[in-house]
């Protein structure tokens, strides 16, 4: 990224502001996860439900590529599909999440058949895919920028699992570990593309709204999980 | 592909029958191309218009992947996007077609800005992308099966260019040469997937109709080109 224009600098600040206000690291469920307060059932429920989000990411990224007439942007985005789907065997993020499930005691087939999937999680994730499918592709890219804030959360989560949830064997943490570095790489690329292609006042505003929407999606996922698996009301 | 069931065998025969009846190798414009009867202007018009089809293929393939919930099918289809877009620089089928354009005397920028694109070609290609975007993904795969008939046409075309259109330097034929082998590989894979996943009477019928529709798309492209660049009526 070359030096930013004033408009780009302002957009960057607005995006960071949205993330610091609305990213789901502040959700009560995540706070309790990171301080070791979740039951095994709650961890399993989170793993099973978040899996649906993982399965839809390559579908969302293919929709974005399908909306984009610029070969250089398609080229820059395509590795994300491979990153999640892998090329063969047990490669890729989806397979890594299946291993996390097994490590937490949720059998592979229970993840794959969606038996634990909550309606609120499904609708939030489906809304995200629909958003990227139907919005202009630069706005779709901006909606991925929750990745900007992911590495810190992922690092805290990994530490929380290693400290508090020692009943989960560490061979299950492959997904967390790969995202620690990959999310930074992804968000750098997505941020460059957002700043480059959200080049009108309308697109810049839409980019900020897209990130806000996406924070809402992640928050809604945790709301549904928290309601089902969270602590009973006093 | 393991041994075919009766239904699969019948589907295969129907698909081949559609191709032998409707593939655009029989179109008058292609017949004249292959017997060396086209003017330079007609060759250039064909190259410029067919380029739009090339540019939409990765968009179509990403739409198909975005419709497909099966990771193994997405994995099997993804290389097609790279095949057309390339990973960097002048790699990929689109770049190869740009070189064909330059070899034929159509500058790169005239291909990229669509100035020669005929409305009938645009609408036929857009209809194809829309079809794949909106139909079930196994039917979208079946619509790609015109590739089954492409290698023979490509071999005849390459020979025709080398024999009749010697004003086109042979460094422009990279696209034709790569498709000679790639189209066979692509169609083998697409045929296996069609026979495997078009597994109900309704999907098998839709697959046959999809191939028929796609033959119509390719035919309509040549109709529009022929009307503009073909021989004057007697």
Q: What is the pLDDT averaged over residues A150-175?
A: 94
d(CA B160, CA A148): 54
Q: What is the pLDDT averaged over residues B192-220?
A: 98
Over 60: is that where the pLDDT of A77 sits? yes
Give the angle A185-A190-A192 at the CA atoms, nearest 5°.
100
Q: A51: domain CATH number? A: 1.20.910.10
Task: Give the tokens for residue B212.
Answer: 């028929």
pLDDT in tens, A203-212: 999 999 999 9
Pairwise CB contact (< 8 Å): A74 & B62: yes
Pairwise CB contact (< 8 Å): B75 & A66: no
State the SS3 of chain A.
CCCCCHHHHHHHHHHHHHHHHHCHHHCHHHHHHHCCCCCHHHHHHHHHHHHHHHHHHHHHHHHHHHCCCCHHHHHHHHHHHHHHHCCCCCCCHHHHHHHHHHHHCCCHHHHHCCCCCCHHHHHHHHHHHHHHHHCCHHHHHHHHHHHHHHHHHHHHHHHHHHHHCCCCCHHHHHHHHHHHHHHHHHHHHHHHHHHHHCCCHHHHHHHHHHHHHHHHHHHHHHHHHHHHHCCCCC
Which of B89, B39, B82 minimizes the C-alpha distance to B228? B39
| Distances, alpha carbon A194 to alpha carbons A5, A12, A189, B111, in Å | 13, 9, 9, 27
Contact B134, B65 (CB under 8 A): no
Task: Give the tokens for residue A126.
Answer: 């489906």
Over 90: is that where the pLDDT of A181 sits? no
Q: What is the pLDDT of residue B124?
A: 98
**CA B70 to chain centroid:** 25
Q: What is the pLDDT of residue A184?
A: 85
Nearest Cβ partner for A85 among B74, B81, B86: B74
Over 90: is that where the pLDDT of B4 sits? yes
Q: Which of A183-187, A188-192, B22-26, B205-209 has the lowest mean pLDDT?
A: A183-187
Pairwise CB contact (< 8 Å): B85 & A78: yes
Pairwise CB contact (< 8 Å): B82 & A81: no
Over 90: is that where the pLDDT of A127 sits? yes
Q: What is the pLDDT of residue B211?
A: 98
Contact A103, A171 (CB under 8 A): yes
A1 within domain boundaries: no
B218 within domain boundaries: yes
Residue of B nearest to A67 (CA): B59
A234 within domain boundaries: no
Over 60: is that where the pLDDT of B120 sits? yes
Q: What is the pLDDT averaged over residues B110-118?
A: 97
Q: What is the pLDDT averaged over residues B85-104?
A: 96
- CA neighbours closer than 13 Å in the CB half-sphere of residue B24: 24
Pairwise CB contact (< 8 Å): B62 & A58: no
A65 to chain B nearest CA, in Å? 6
Over 90: is that where the pLDDT of A105 sits? yes
Find which of A59, A64, A66 to mutate to test the B interface (most B CBs within 10 Å of its CB).
A66
Supply the mean pLDDT for chain A: 95
B234 within domain boundaries: no
A133 within domain boundaries: yes
Percent with pLDDT over 90 in chain A: 91
Which of A199, A193, A202, A78 minimizes the C-alpha distance to A140? A193
Which of A195, A154, A197 minimizes the C-alpha distance to A15? A195
Over 90: is that where the pLDDT of A92 sits? yes
Phi, psi of A220, deg, nearest 5:
-65, -35
Q: Which residues of A touch B (CB under 8 A)?
A: 55, 58-60, 62-63, 65-69, 71, 74-75, 78, 81-82, 85-88, 92, 94, 133
Percent with pLDDT over 70 in chain B: 98
* DSSP label at residue B115: T
Supply the mean pLDDT for chain B: 95
Number of domains forming the structure of chain A? 1
* Helix intervals (H) in chain B: 6-22, 28-34, 40-66, 71-85, 93-104, 108-112, 119-134, 137-143, 150-164, 174-197, 201-229
Contact B192, B76 (CB under 8 A): no
User: Is the backbone of residue A218 left (phi > 0), alpha (psi -120 to 50) or beta?
Assistant: alpha
Over 80: is that where the pLDDT of A233 sits? no
Q: What is the pLDDT of residue A141?
A: 98
- Local structure of A95: helix, strand or coil: helix
Q: How confident is the model at residue B1 (pLDDT cuts 50, 70, 90)?
A: low
Chain B residues in contact with A83 (beta carbon < 8 A): none
Q: What is the pLDDT of residue B232?
A: 65
Nearest Cβ partner for B75 among A75, A78, A87: A87
Over 90: is that where the pLDDT of B231 sits? no
d(CA B218, CA B27): 9
Find which of B56, B75, B83, B137 to mutate to test the A interface (most A CBs within 10 Å of its CB).
B75
Residue of A nearest to B65 (CA): A62
Chain B residues in contact with A85 (beta carbon < 8 A): 71, 74-75, 78
Chain B residues in contact with A97 (beta carbon < 8 A): none
pTM: 0.95
Q: What is the pLDDT averaged over residues A78-83?
A: 96
A55 to chain B nearest CA, in Å? 8
Q: What is the pLDDT of residue B185?
A: 87
Residue of B nearest to A61 (CA): B66
Over 70: is that where the pLDDT of B233 sits? no
- In sequence order, the 6+-apart residues with CB closer than 8 A to the CB of A111 are A47, A48, A51, A97, A98, A101
Q: How confident is the model at residue B58 (pLDDT cuts 50, 70, 90)?
A: very high
Q: What is the pLDDT of residue A1?
A: 58
Q: What is the pLDDT of residue B182?
A: 85
Q: How confident is the model at residue A35 (pLDDT cuts 50, 70, 90)?
A: very high
Over 90: is that where the pLDDT of A232 sits? no
- Residue A233 exposed, middle or buried by CB count within 10 Å (0-12, 13-18, 19+): exposed
Over 60: is that where the pLDDT of A234 sits? no
- Local structure of B68: helix, strand or coil: coil
B220 to chain A nearest CA, in Å? 23
Pairwise CB contact (< 8 Å): B62 & A82: no
Chain A residues in contact with B60 (beta carbon < 8 A): 66
Q: What is the pLDDT of residue A231?
A: 79
Q: What is the pLDDT averaged over residues B49-78?
A: 98
pLDDT in tens, A14-30: 999 999 999 999 999 99
pLDDT in tens, B64-80: 999 999 999 999 999 99
The residue assigned the tokens 């991925």 is: A144
Pairwise CB contact (< 8 Å): A78 & B65: no
B201 to chain A nearest CA, in Å? 26
Domain span at residue A179 reads: 6-229
Pairwise CB contact (< 8 Å): A58 & B65: yes
Q: How many CB pairs under 8 A join A and B?
A: 66
pLDDT in tens, B153-163: 999 999 999 99
B100 within domain boundaries: yes
Pairwise CB contact (< 8 Å): A62 & B58: no
């Amino acid at each position: 990224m070359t030096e930013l224009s004033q408009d780009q600098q302002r957009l960057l600040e607005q995006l960071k502001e949205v993330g610091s206000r609305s990213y789901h690291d502040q959700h009560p469920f995540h706070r309790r996860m990171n301080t070791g307060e979740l039951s095994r059932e709650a961890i399993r429920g989170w793993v099973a439900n978040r899996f649906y989000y993982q399965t839809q990411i390559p579908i969302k990224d293919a929709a974005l590529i399908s909306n984009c007439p610029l070969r250089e942007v398609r080229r820059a985005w395509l590795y994300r599909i491979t990153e999640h789907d892998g090329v063969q065997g047990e490669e890729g993020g989806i397979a890594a999440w299946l291993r996390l499930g097994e490590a937490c005691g949720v059998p592979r087939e229970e993840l794959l058949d969606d038996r634990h999937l909550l309606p609120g999680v499904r609708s939030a994730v489906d809304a995200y895919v629909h958003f990227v499918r139907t919005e202009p592709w630069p706005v779709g890219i901006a909606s991925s920028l929750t990745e900007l804030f992911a590495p810190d959360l992922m690092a805290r989560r990994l530490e929380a699992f290693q400290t508090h949830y020692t009943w989960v064997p560490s061979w299950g943490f492959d997904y967390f570990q790969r995202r620690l570095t990959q999310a930074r790489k992804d968000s750098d690329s997505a941020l460059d593309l957002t700043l480059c292609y959200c080049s009108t006042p309308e697109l810049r505003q839409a980019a900020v709204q897209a990130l806000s929407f996406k924070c809402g999606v992640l928050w809604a996922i945790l709301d549904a999980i928290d309601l089902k698996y969270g602590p009973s009301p006093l």
